[in-house]
Structure 1
Amino acid sequence: MPRKALTTAAAALSLALLPGCVSVEAGDPFADVDLQRQDYILAAVVSPARPAEDTARDAARKPAEIVAFSGLRRGDTVAEIAPGGGYYTRILSQVVGPEGRVYAILTADRANRPGGRDAIDAIAEQYGNVEVVVVDSYAGMSLPRPVDLVWTTENYHDLANGDIAGANRAVFAALKPGGLYFVEDHAAPGTGTDATATLHRIDPEAVRNQVSAAGFALEAESDLLANPADPHTARVFDYEGTTDKFALRFRKPG
């Protein structure tokens, strides 16, 4: 992208990152994002290394704003739970930079399927700071070293179908003191966990309660991906519009 276009995009991003996009209990330390951090987040999102099928989803997923909200910084070590096709893995890798590390975490049952880890292995080969970590379960997750941030997008509802208390305790144990836990998922307000297996959605209040029970403090929540037009009654895969999503940032005391 030409320098002028980057500058224009950076200006647009700076407007998007104004603190009006979040709801905070007691002050959000990331509401005023420094300009240098905006630059490297933007550079990761506009990188020509990202495939067209990923960038086509950016308008709906708002990756620059979401990464800024998550609190991720240059040089961080981040664990990404269930990276899927690597939409965010590529962005996280470039945000943390060569001094940082991304652990892309797959369960053994997923990794052992035919072709189950082909996409993420290809990303790890392309991006030298990405390492694939295979675990028996997220509740038994063990990482090579403590991390600054644990990240999961559109997958928490799947974790909730298993030992979610154990998974959240494992996340807590994997983080450094003061580390962050970022959760973004499809919303089904008022349903608790009743829609996790059927609609592939979850009640954000259920997430708040479950993660808080593991010892985390809710630091901020964002309505960046909210869609009031979503009736919350359709399966995520069947809904023709953009689903209503929530984003939550928790902190481990330290």
Structure 2
Amino acid sequence: MRTPLLAAALLAFAAPAGAEPAPRVAAVQQADAALRAAIASDARPEADRARDQYRHPYESLTFWGLAPGMTVVEIQPGQAGWWSNILQPYLAQSEGTYVAANNGQQLSGVADGSADMVLVARAFHNWHRGGQTDALMGQFARVLKPGGVLAVEQHRAPEGSDPDQTAPTGYVSEAYVIAAAERAGLVLDGRSEINANARDDRDHPFGVWTLPPVRRSEQNGRSLTAEERAQFDAVGESDRMTLRFRKPA
């Protein structure tokens, strides 16, 4: 099934009946096929592909507006590189550029206004605890081109919750992220329920790390029973916000 974003693009550039596809339609179709191929590739670790049911990579990346030839900066991808295992081959085949900033301060080496997209996945709770959120958001705004996108995937706390209370459990609210982006001069451009999970009530003995993929079962003398472990596994991965911010042109 095509996403609404892709369907709209195809409709906008559709050729008259019986005519050859317009070049732009062909380009959209080619980009769509290239992204699907990168996601389905056997080069991705099996464990990565098993998580697609929870992280919806195709839908998320098309919502954020990924396109061939972009310069994409991923913040703290870590050693496993779940997103980078998709982004690197996809961008390489279209002469795009992938930049991994495993420490946010490495952005000092990224030129002002050079990135089409900055991707942040599951990091705001850690930044809040370290008092880093505003400084890092300012850096993201600096490296983005005018019109560039900040793409966010983040464990979601209930609206109105106190980040001092929720961040240690791995969650922050959408309002927290939106306010931080706005302070950096970025504008909310879209929000999606692609990665929502109504089964996640956020009431877990070891925070979000109780759930897959971490599946923590013991901490500070507390151990889950086999029945509890099965219950948390049945929740799946966390309820997550999926947000798109844009740097004003």
**Which of the five TM-score ranges fits, normalised by the shorter chain?**
0.7 to 0.9
Residue of structure 2 aligned with 1:142, choices 104, 109, 112: 109
* Contact residue 156 and residue 183 of structure 1 kept, 8 A: no
* Contact residue 125 and residue 168 of structure 2 kept, 8 A: no
Determine whether 1:63 maps to 2:88: no
Q: In 2, Cα distance between the equivalents of 1:178 and 1:76?
A: 13
- Alignment gaps of 5+ in structure 1: 1-11, 20-29, 108-134
Q: In 1, Cα distance between the equivalents of 2:109 and 2:166?
A: 25
Query: What displacement does 1:227 show?
Result: 1.2
- Alignment gaps of 5+ in structure 2: 10-27, 212-231
Q: In 2, Cα distance between the equivalents of 1:203 and 1:155?
A: 13
Q: In 2, Cα distance between the equivalents of 1:166 and 1:94?
A: 30
Residue type at the aligned position of 1:147? A
* Contact residue 41 and residue 64 of structure 1 kept, 8 A: yes
Residue of structure 2 aligned with 1:181, choices 138, 147, 150: 150
Moved over 6 A (4+): none
Q: Which residue of 1 aligns with 2:19?
A: none
Residue of structure 2 aligned with 1:77, choices 71, 74, 80: 71
Task: Please give the TM-score of this superposition, normalised by the length of structure 2.
Answer: 0.75
Query: What displacement does 1:41 show?
Result: 1.4
Q: Which residue of 1 aligns with 2:102?
A: 106
Q: Which residue of 2 aligns with 1:86?
A: 81
Q: 1:192 to 1:31 in 2, by over 3 A?
A: farther
Query: What displacement does 1:142 show?
Result: 3.5
Determine whether 1:238 maps to 2:210: yes
Q: 1:104 to 1:62 in 2, by over 3 A?
A: same
Query: What displacement does 1:66 show?
Result: 0.8
Query: What displacement does 1:196 show?
Result: 4.9
Q: 1:31 to 1:212 in 2, by over 3 A?
A: farther
Task: Please give the TM-score of this superposition, normalised by the length of structure 1.
Answer: 0.73
Query: What displacement does 1:177 show?
Result: 1.1
Aligned length, in residue pairs: 201
Query: What displacement does 1:90 show?
Result: 1.4
Query: What displacement does 1:91 show?
Result: 0.6
Q: For the pair shown, which has the larger CA radius of gyration, 1 or 2?
A: 2
* Contact residue 111 and residue 143 of structure 2 kept, 8 A: no
Q: 1:55 to 1:229 in 2, by over 3 A?
A: same
Indicate the RMSD between aligned Cα atoms, in angstroms: 1.9
